[in-house]
Structure 1
Amino acid sequence: MVLLSLAFAAVLLISFMKGAFGGGFAIVGIPLLSLAMDPLQAGALLAPLFIAMDLCALVYWRPSTWSKPDLLVLLPGLAVGIGLGFLVLRFANPHFVAIAMAAVTLFFTGLWFTGGGLVQVSPRSLWKGAVAGTASGVTTMIAHSGGPPVAMYLLPLGLSKTLYAGTTSLFFTVGNALKAGPWLLVASPDWTLMALCLPACPLGVWLGWHFHARLDQRQLYRACYALLTVTALKLLWDGLRGYGLI
């Protein structure tokens, strides 16, 4: 019963984030599952559920909310990154990747907060988008945490709150569909637990969507940067713990 409660709460929280902010903040719910499950089992449980969440989210984040020029830059790198992340997960130690990504993200968010939280609009960059997409693919595969790289590319563009959320939602819809199969090769999920958690997907997305509608542009960016900081700290913790340093 404890496991079901934690799993349901984690899926509800992640679904809420998808409805409120688009994609990229799945890692905020994973610590709940880690209290009662092996991380690999948690990852395998969530991988198919992410697809259900994404389908629910696309009811709200429709094509008019997608920044198509940015998706054309990001998505090819995402596919490459997921393939690389699968190799890291199977044959290498992913802790270094987690620590490096955490350090870069904390530097990025630190600059924003120390700069007074202003949105500095920068021009698009093809190479930055390609790198961000690839890095996001790697980290979403090994830690369900692809948000930081793609956010570091998209947030400085100054997109509207709805365009930002819709773009990240579709980006991670594609990513989650691509990584579900590889994750099921890494570990076998508890299918009964997954079925019991499924109703949390539409409920969480619906709650998040209504929360999104109440946010103004500045509040959304502040929330996204705060969530990026939390995500980076969790990645840093996981990486250091993996090396036995904490």
Structure 2
Amino acid sequence: MSLDLAFFAAMVPAVILMGLSKGGFSGLGLLSLPLMALVVSPVTAAVIMLPLLIAQDVVTVWSYRRDFDRRNLATLAPGALLGVLAGYLLAAKVSDAAVGLAVGLISIGFALRRMLGDGKRPAAVTKASWGAGGFWGFLCGFTSMIAHAGGPPFQIYVMPQKLPPAVFVGTGAIFFAAMNLVKLVPYIALGQLSAQNLTASAALLPVAVAATFAGVWLVRRVPAERFYGIIYWLLLLVGLKLAFDGVRGLAILG
């Protein structure tokens, strides 16, 4: 891996997208790994990104330290821990493409139902519950560990609650910060955090932090209805991309 112009041409936009995602516009970050994979392997891209994610988590958790929902965190956490463990144990046996396709189809169905199915009738506001939280938390942990796609399950569970945008983002910030710290353990155990990868992460760190602050700034200035409209569109687009990549991956595997 060479830190040349091609490396930064692919990596800088990827890190900016991840920063905006961490700042509040969930879904954009899913486009980061494919961009990074243009110049490094997908595994290396994930390793380089993990320290950046943790640094971005510090920014978002600090920025939204007063804006989060405790009940959502409590209902999601147990399932998420089990999901990360299951993903770690089954990583060699589960196809990334199949997981991506399943998450993509669920995301597309949810986004279209919310955007089109309700018509002019206001969608019913839900509340955090242990059953739904355990289920979607497990999917968050599992898909994050297997396919780096924990965002859509989180959105599907929390968005119908119509939390204020800052609370929605703050809850996700704390939730995924904790999950990234848990995921750090297997990365260290497998010896993937090499000096070369950490050097690449350090070179991209200023961009990662600046982009995250930009995302936080934008979220605090976008009205709630427009914010959720943007998130539904992002969820739909991310779902389409996951489904497309899943179908292509399964076709290759088959």
TM-score higher than 0.5: yes
Per-residue deviation, 1:187 = 4.5
* Partners of 2:34 and 2:42 within 8 A in 1: no
Sequence identity (%): 29
CA contact (8 A) 2:27 2:234 kept: no
1:208 maps to 215
Please give the secondary structure, in 2, of the residue aligned with 1:90: coil
Note closer, same or farther for the CA distance 1:162–1:97 as it changes in structure 2 (3 Å cut): same
Instruction: Give the deviation of 1:10 after TM superposition.
Output: 1.0
Paired with 2:28 and 2:206, the residues of 1 have a C-alpha distance of 20
1:177 maps to what in 2? 181
Structure 1 194/124 Cα, relative in aligned 2: closer, same or farther at 3 Å? closer
1:5-63, Cα deviation, whole Å (9 max, x unpaired): 31122112211221134x6653132221122221111111111211011011122111x
Pick from 139, 144, 150 the counterpart of residue 143 of structure 2: 139
- What amino acid is the match of 1:31? P
CA distance in 2, matches of 1:149, 1:15: 20
Query: Distance between the aligned counterparts of 2:178 and 2:202, measured in 1?
Result: 22
1:46-97 deviation digits (Å, cap 9, x = unpaired): 11211011011122111x2110011000011111111111223233323222
**2:160 is aligned with what amino acid?**
P
Tell me which residue corresponds to 2:70.
68
CA apart distance, 1:153: 0.8
Partner of 2:228: 221
Q: Distance in 1 between matches of 2:16 and 2:138?
A: 28
Give the alignment of 1:5-154 within 5 angstroms: 5-21=9-25, 25-62=28-65, 64-114=66-116, 115-116=118-119, 118-154=122-158
In 2, Cα distance between equivalents of 1:25 and 1:173:
17
- What is the letter of the counterpart of residue 138 of structure 2? T
Q: Which moved more, 1:218-227 or 1:3-12?
A: 3-12
Structure 1: segments with no counterpart, 5+ residues: none
Q: Residue 73 of structure 1 contacts residue 129 of structure 1 at CA under 8 Å; is this kept in 2?
A: yes
Change (3 A) 1:39 1:197: same
State the Cα RMSD in Å: 2.0
TM-score normalised over the length of structure 2? 0.89
Alpha-carbon distance between aligned partners in 2 of 1:186 and 1:38, rounded to the nearest angstrom? 16
Q: CA deviation at 1:181?
A: 2.6
What TM-score comes out, normalization by structure 1 length?
0.91
Larger radius of gyration: 2
TM-superposed deviation, 1:154 = 0.5
How far 1:174 sits from its partner (Å)? 0.7
